[in-house]
Structure 1
Amino acid sequence: MIDFEIPAELAAERDRVRQFVIDRIVPFERDPRLTQHGPTDELRQELVELARAENLLTVQAPVELGGRGLTHAEQAVLYEAAGWSTLGPVAMNCAAPDEGNMYLLSKIANPRQVDQFLAPVIAGHQRSVFAMTEPDGAGSDPAQLCTEATFDGENFVLNGRKWLITGANGAKTWIIMARLAPNPHLPEGPTLFLTEGGTPGIVIERTMNTMDRNYVAGHGVVRFENLTLPREALLGAAGQALRYAQLRLAPARLTHCMRWLGAAERAQSIAVAHAKTRTAFGKPIGEHQGVSFLLADNEIALHQCRLTIWHACWLMDRGEKARHESSIAKAFVSEELFKVADRCVQVLGGIGISDETVVEMIFRDMRAFRLYDGPTEVHKYAIGRKILR
C-alpha cells in the first residue's frame, strides 16, 4: 500500500524548519555578505550558529557522528522546508557540496579520516570541496579525467587543473579526483585523495564569475602543482573513484531537487501574492485567465516534482540504488522548476527582473541547477540507454 502521509513528528519539524528560515534566515538575503560569488564564509558561520542554537544543524548526519540519521524521505521533507531561502541549507549545513561530501566520507573514509576531515564539516566548523571537473577533461564524462597522480610507494604527486570547484576558497577538507598512473604498488585509474586546504601545491587561481550565487565562496579555478600527499591521503581504494562518485551522485541529485523545490515554492508564493494585489484592466491580474493558468501550471509542476522526489527516496530507503529513478528525478525536476521560476518572473512583470523580490535570484540559480550533478541531456542519455537494453 502506498502511503503519502507525513508522520506528525516529521510534519512538526518541517514546520519548525520553515518558520526558522522565514524568521531568522530570510532577513540575511539583503546582507551585503551575500555577494556575486555567494555567501562569504563569515556570513555562513553566523548562519550556522543560528541553526546550531535551534538544534537544526547537520540533521542529516549519521547518529554516531552527531546527526539524526535521517532517511532519504525525511530529508526530502526537511530540505524542502529549508530551501524556502537559498541561505536556509547553508545555515543548516545541508547545502552542496558539503552535504554530498559528508555522505561520501561517511561511507568510505577510515576512522582517522573521519576524525580529521569529516567531523569538523559535520560540526559546521569547516567546509569541503569535491575537485573533479576540468576545463578540458572530466565533467559530464568523468572518464575524461586528465589530472594525474604518480605514486612511488610512499607519496602521491598530483598535477592538473580543475575548474567550477564549488567553495574552493577557504575550504579545509579537499576531496580530489585524479588518474593514478601505472605503478607497481597500487591499481591504476581514477582515484580519490583527501587532504587539507592550503596544502603546498594547491593553487587557487581565481573565482569564476557565474550566474548563480547560492554557494559559499562561489566556484574556483584550481591548479595542482606537484601536490605531494602521503599514502594515508588515499580515500577508499585506488582506481575506484568513478564508482565512489556514483555513490555520492545518486543521493546528491535528489537533495538538489529537494532544496530547489523549496525555493520554487517561495517564488510561487511571491507570484501568487502579487497576482492577488496587482490590478490591470479593472481587476486583480490573478483573475485574468492568462495569469491564473501560469500559476496553475506552477502548482501542477510543484506537485509532480514532489512526488517524483518522494518516489526515488522511497526506493533508496528500501535499499535500492535508484540510479535510474534519481536520473529521472534530476532531469524532470530541474527542468520543471526552472519553468516554475520563469513563469513567476512573468507574473511579476517588471519587478520580476529586478531585485525587488528574490524571484530574480531564484530564477538565475535555478538555471544553474539544470547543470548541477549532470545536465539534463546526460541523464536523458542514461535513461534512454536503460529503457533500450
Structure 2
Amino acid sequence: MSMSGSQLRAIMREFVDGEVIPAERALDAGGDTAADALKRLQASAKKQGLWALGHPAEIGGGGLPFYEFALVNEIIGRSKYGQLAAGTLSMQDAIMLHRFGSEEQKRRWLVPLVAGDITPSTGMTEPEVAGSDPTLIQATARLDGDEWVVDAHKWFTTGGSTAAFTTVYARTEPDDAKAHRALSAIVVPTGTPGFEVVRVLKTMGSTGGDHCEIRLTGVRVPYENLLGERGGGFAVGQTRLGPGRIFHCMRWLGQAQRAFELMVDRANTRYAHGSLLSQKGEIQRYVAESAAEIHAARLMVLDAAKQFDRDGQARIQISMVKFWAAQMLHNVIDRAIQVHGALGVTDDTPLEGMYREARFARIYDGPDEVHRMVVARRLLADPTRAPWLEDGLDD
C-alpha cells in the first residue's frame, strides 16, 4: 500500500509499541513460544506493508532511501526484536549479495533472505587476532580443482547456529599479495561437512545474541560460492559494514528514546525526600542532558544518511556518528537506570538488558578507537572535509 512518510512512521510506531514490545517476554522465552510469537509479528508486519522497508525494491523490499529509512529504523530500534519482526535484520547481507552476488547466489540466498525464510551470518573476526584489523585474518581457502577448501576458526559469528549460510572471509592469495587484496569472501552453507558450531558464546550474562564460535575444517564448497572477485573480500566486507554501522546508529536512537521515556515517567511518578524526582535539580539535569545528546546524535545520523544517499560512502559521517551515538546510548540508559534506582537493575524493566547491549555498541562493527582514528586521519589530511562544511542539512 502507498502511504506518506509520516503515515508510515505512525503505523510502524503503533506496530512496535503495540505489538512487538508487548511480545518481548514471549520472545525472550525462546523455543516454540518465541517462534510462534515471531511468526505472528512477521505476518502482521507484512500485512501492514511494514516488511523489509529498507531493502531495494528490485529484490522485494520497500526501497526506502537511506534518509527515509533512518526515520523508520529509529522506531524499529525501540525493541531489540524490531529488526526480526519487520524484516530488516538481514539488510547488511542483502545489500552485499545484491551488489556482489551472482544470479545463482541471488536466487539461492537473496530471495529467501528478503522474504524472511532464512537468516544469514558472517565469519570475519577470529579469537587469535584483533578483530578490528582484518589484515590479520588467519583463515585460509585454497582451490582444489573446482572447489574451495576452507579452514577457519571464527567467533562472534552472530546467528551462526541458526543461519542458512555464513559468509567466510579467508586468505586466498599468496603471502606477497597486498594486504587489502589478500582476502576473499566465500559463501558457506552451514550444513556443509566440516562446519562446526563450537559454542554459543555467553556474553554479558546473556546468550540471547547467538554470537557463535565456529570452526571450518577442510570444508569444501564449489568455486562459484566466491562472492565478488577473488581477492576482493575487503570491498565485499566494507559494502556490508558501511551501511551496517549506520543501521546500528539508527536503532540506537530508538533504544535511547525508549530509555528516555522510561526515565521521564519514573521521575514524574516516584516520590522521595519530600518531592517527586522530577522536581530535583540533579534529575532535571539528567533529563536535559539526555535530550540534548539524543537530539545531537539524531541530527548526525540523518546527516550521515543523506550523505550516504549521495555518494554511497559517507565515511567520515558514519565513523563519527558510530562512536558518538554509542556513547550517547550508554549515557542515556545509564541515567535512566540511576533514576529507577534498585528497580533499574532488575529485569522488571528492559533497562538492564539495554545497558548490557549498549556496552557492546562501543566494540562491534569497529571499536570506538578505530572510528575516532578514521575521523582524525581524514580531517588531519584535509580539514575542509569536515561534515559541518557540507550543505547536507540544506537540501
Do the two structures share a fold, i.e. TM-score over 0.5? yes
Counterpart of 2:285 in structure 1: which amino acid? F
Residues 27, 37 of structure 2: 8 Å contact kept: no
Using the alignment, how far apart are the partners of 2:311 and 2:367 within structure 1?
26
* Residue 54 of structure 1: aligned partner: 48
Residue 91 of structure 1 aligns with which residue? 85
Verify the 8 A CA contact 1:132 1:138 in the aligned structure 2: no
Deviation by residue 1:203-243 (Cα, 9 ceiling, x = unmatched):
1111000127696x610000001000111111000101112
Q: Aligned pair in 2 of structure 1 residues 277, 212: CA closer, same or farther (>3 Å)?
A: same
User: What is the CA distance between 1:100 and its match in structure 2?
Assistant: 1.0
1:143/1:42 Cα in 2 relative to 1: closer, same or farther (>3 Å)?
A: farther
How big is the shift at 1:102? 1.1
Separation (CA, whole Å) in 1 of partners of 2:294 and 2:29? 27
Residue 299 of structure 1 corresponds to 291
- Say if 1:260 and 1:337, in contact at 8 Å, map to a contact too: yes
Q: Which runs of 5+ in 1 are unaligned?
A: 1-7
Q: What is the aligned partner in structure 2 of residue 205 from structure 1?
A: 198
Distance 1:140 1:261, change over 3 A: same
SS at match of 2:311: coil
The residue that corresponds to 2:103 in the other structure is 111
Q: CA distance change for structure 1 residues 40 and 165 in 2, over 3 Å: closer, same or farther?
A: farther
Q: Which runs of 5+ in 2 are unaligned?
A: 382-395
Structure 1 segments, 4+ long, off by >6 Å, are none
> Equivalences for 1:32-71 in 2 at 5 Å?
33-34=28-29, 44-71=38-65
Displacement, 1:41? 5.6
Aligned residues of 1:138 and 1:146 also touching (Cα < 8 A) = no
Q: 1:87 to 1:381 in 2, by over 3 A?
A: same
Q: Is 1:262 paired with 2:254?
A: yes
Q: Which moved more, 1:188-197 or 1:45-54?
A: 45-54
1:126-172 residue CA offsets vs partner (Å, 9 max, x unmatched): 10001101001351001101000111341110012000110011100
> Does 2:170 match 1:178?
yes
1:221-232 to 2 correspondence within 5 Å?
Answer: 221-232=213-224
C-alpha contact 2:130 2:136 (8 A) present in aligned 1: yes
TM-score between the two structures when normalised by the length of structure 2: 0.90
Alignment match, 1:16: 11
In the alignment, what sits opposite 1:276?
268
SS of the equivalent of 1:318 reads: helix
TM-score when normalising by structure 1: 0.91
Matched position secondary structure for 2:187: strand
CA RMSD of superposed structures (Å): 2.1
1:42–1:179 CA distance, 2 compared to 1 (3 A): farther
* Deviation, structure 1 residue 375: 0.8
Cα distance between partner residues in 2 of 1:125 and 1:268: 35
Q: What is the Cα deviation at residue 48 of structure 1?
A: 2.2
Deviation, 1:251, is 1.1
Q: Which amino acid aligns with 1:227?
A: V
- Give me the whole-angstrom Cα distance separating, in 1, the residues matched to 2:12 and 2:45: 9
User: Equivalent residue for 2:393?
Assistant: none
Identify the structure with the greater helix proportion.
2
User: Which residue number corresponds to residue 326 of structure 1?
Assistant: 318
Identity of aligned residues (%): 32
Specify whether residues 42 and 177 from structure 1 end up closer, same or farther in structure 2 by C-alpha distance, changes over 3 A only: farther
Aligned residues between the structures: 374
Most deviating of 146-155 and 125-134 = 146-155
Look up the equivalent residue of 2:193 and give its one-letter code.
P
Contact 1:138–1:144 (8 Å) recurs in 2: yes
AA aligned to 2:228 is G
1:143 counterpart = 2:135: yes
Residue 4 of structure 1 corresponds to none
Using the alignment, how far apart are the partners of 1:366 and 1:47 within structure 2?
Answer: 25
Find the partner of 2:154 among 159, 162, 165: 162
